[in-house]
Amino acid sequence: MGRRGHHPTTTFAAADRASSRPVSTRASPLVPRLGRRLIPEELLKMVTNVVDLRSDTVTKPSDAMRAAMAAADVDDDVLGADPTAHRFEMEMARITGKEAALFVPSGTMANLISVLVHCDTRGSEVILGDNSHIHIYENGGISTIGGVHPKTVRNNPDGTMDIDKIVAAIRHPDGALYYPTTRLICLENTHANCGGKCLSAEYTDEVGEVAKSHGLKLHIDGARIFNASVALGVPVHRLVKVADSVSVCISKGLGAPVGSVIVGSTAFIEKAKILRKTLGGGMRQVGILCAAAYVAVRDTVGKLADDHRRAKVLADGLKKIKHFRVDTTSVETNMVFFDIVDSRISPDKLCQVLEQRNVLAMPAGSKSMRLVIHYQISDSDVQYALTCVEKAAEEILTGSKKFEHLTNGTTRNSYGH
Ligand SMILES: Cc1ncc(COP(=O)(O)O)c(C=O)c1O
């Protein structure tokens, strides 16, 4: 998902500036030319000097996660014997109010498996948002691997699809000779491409009712369902009550290094387990990862409200910069999308200039940007980023470097916010 991936060159350069040690300012992409070996703590400190707003997927495991990984009791999970994986899956089933859960390597695989289990006959059709992650960013896997046909319905700016449009998209059985067969509806909560908007429990219930009355299943891509839960003040199990399956990412806002979970009925998860193996997602001593995931769910959910507050501060600050337009009321969770109104400032150029000041961001379109808050972004990081965004715009417009003196080397409080 990253536009440019990890960027150690800038990171090490930042650390050079922040440090009083006489080190070279040149850095190779992978090995810093520091003339001495770095101990891991120093490397870690350097990495955290970057204000990385590209995504909430960029977090590094906390000390507690690393400790849990080191201490994890593990066994072969393909044989169903890993106690730490089992404990984590039980916990996720409990939190989501479903019978069973399955840890998988990624959100993409979680969605693919879920769709394929519900649409186990070729020529099945799934109704999903035209702006949904499954439709846009998952390589069309439901079609290429599963033979499932996507029927898109327009996503409203709030991430919903109109109920009457969903109903209209359901294939009539009279046309079974010609049509694919509708078997599934997919929702996304929060909706990433719609700016991290939350779907309410009531809306989800309505879609669930449509699905049920037409004999369809409902899957929720809940990559950031915990963000929705915190923002709405509604427990996760209530938000997904009517869903037959939910995929939940642990490596986004929750900050675990790897993994997603699928939840659903016991029968659904049994089938999902077979597909996970087919897709190469059966992992052996996976408790190492589940240990971190368990800590992420335990420790990070309580911090999401801070992420959301910081996203609002960021949006409010951006709104005050004349070159940008941001709808602050649209910021419901940890994502901030903003438009660049001055045609001389391209998103790519803005990202490039920001990167020189160790602020990493991603274009969202030809005239828009996306910034994402996560638990390793502090209040001071937000302020630093705002200063840099404003100065970067000026620098692009005037061609002069007005903020050479700025560095975030001293703005971090500590590792792991
Ligand atoms: C809403 C949503 N669903 C699914 C995914 C896929 O997750 P992964 O990158 O773990 O495959 C993402 C990734 O960003 C996402 O934003």
Q: pLDDT of 92-130, one tens digit each? A: 999 999 999 999 999 999 999 999 999 999 899 999 999
Q: Are residues 287 and 363 in the same domain?
A: no
Instruction: Give the mean pLDDT of 255-280.
Output: 98
Q: Are residues 114 and 263 in the same domain?
A: yes
Which residues approach ligand 1 with their CB closer than 6 A?
1, 106-108, 111, 133, 188, 192, 221, 223, 249, 260
Q: Are residues 320 and 282 in the same domain?
A: no
- pTM, two decimals, is 0.86
Please say which residue of 300, 325, 358 terminates a domain: 300
Question: Which pLDDT belongs to residue 22?
Answer: 27
3-state secondary structure of 208: helix
Give the atom of ligand 1 at the shortest distance from the alpha carbon of 132: 1
pLDDT digits (tens, 9 = 90+) for 352-390: 999 999 999 999 999 999 999 999 999 999 999 999 999
The answer to the question of residue 30 being in a domain is yes
Apex CA 127: angle with CA 123 and CA 130, to 5°?
120
Q: Are residues 39 and 72 in the same domain?
A: no
Closest CA relative to residue 103, chosen from 315, 306, 262, 278: 262
Q: What is the CATH number of the domain that holds 291?
A: 3.40.640.10
C-alpha 227 to ligand 1 mean position (Å): 14
Q: Are residues 330 and 365 in the same domain?
A: yes
Apex CA 226: angle with CA 58 and CA 273, to 5°?
85
Greater confidence (403 vs 331) lies with: 331
* Rounded Cα–Cα distance for residues 186 and 208 (Å): 10
Q: Are residues 350 and 386 in the same domain?
A: yes
Cα dihedral 371, 320, 415, 46 sign: positive
Give the atom of ligand 1 at the shortest distance from the alpha carbon of 108: 11
Please say which residue of 238, 265, 300 terminates a domain: 300
C-alpha 175 to ligand 1 mean position (Å): 34
Domain that holds residue 106: 64-300
Angle between the 379-398 and 304-319 helix axes, to the nearest 10 degrees? 30
C-alpha 56 to ligand 1 mean position (Å): 10
Q: Identify which of 54, 106, 115, 133 to mutate to test ligand 1's pocket (most ligand atoms within 8 A of the CB).
A: 133
Give, using CA atoms, the residue closest to atom 6 of ligand 1.
107
The answer to the question of residue 74 being in a domain is yes
Q: Are residues 215 and 343 in the same domain?
A: no
Q: What confidence tier does 399 reach under pLDDT thresholds 50, 70, 90?
A: confident
The answer to the question of residue 8 being in a domain is no
Closest CA relative to residue 263, chosen from 45, 90, 102: 102
The answer to the question of residue 7 being in a domain is no
3-state secondary structure of 25: coil
Token representation of residue 182: 């509708």
Q: Are residues 54 and 200 in the same domain?
A: no
Please say which residue of 300, 334, 351 terminates a domain: 300
| Domain count along the chain | 2
The amino acid occupying position 19 is S
Q: What is the CATH number of the domain that holds 340?
A: 3.90.1150.10
Q: Identify which of 1, 131, 227 to mutate to test ligand 1's pocket (most ligand atoms within 8 A of the CB).
A: 1
Q: Are residues 193 and 269 in the same domain?
A: yes
The answer to the question of residue 415 being in a domain is no
